[in-house]
Amino acid sequence: MAAHYPHPLIAREGWPFLAIAVVVSLAVGAFAGWLWSIPLWIIALFVLQFFRDPPREVPSDPQAVVSPADGRIVVVGRARDPYRDRDALKISVFMNVFNVHSNRSPVDGTVSKVDYHAGSFLNAALDKASLENERNALLIELADGTQVTCVQVAGLVARRILCYVGAGSALLRGQRYGFIRFGSRVDVYLPVDAEPRAAIGDKVYAAETVLARLPQKK
- 92 has catalytic annotation: no
CA separation for the pair 202, 122 (Å, rounded):
22
Residue 135 phi, psi (nearest 5)? -155, 155
Which listed residue (37, 105, 130, 184) is catalytic? 184
Residues 154 and 135 sit within 8 Å (Cβ to Cβ): yes
3-state secondary structure the chain: CCCCCCCCCECHHHHHHHHHHHHHHHHHHHHHCHHHHHHHHHHHHHHHHHCECCCCCCCCCCCEEECCCCEEEEEEEEEEECCCCEEEEEEEEEECCCCCCEEECCCCEEEEEEEEECCECCCCCCCCHHHHECEEEEEEECCCCCEEEEEEEECCCCCCEEECCCCCCEECCCCEEEEECCCEEEEEEECCCCEECCCCCCEECCCCCEEEECCCCC
Q: Catalytic residues, which ones? A: 184
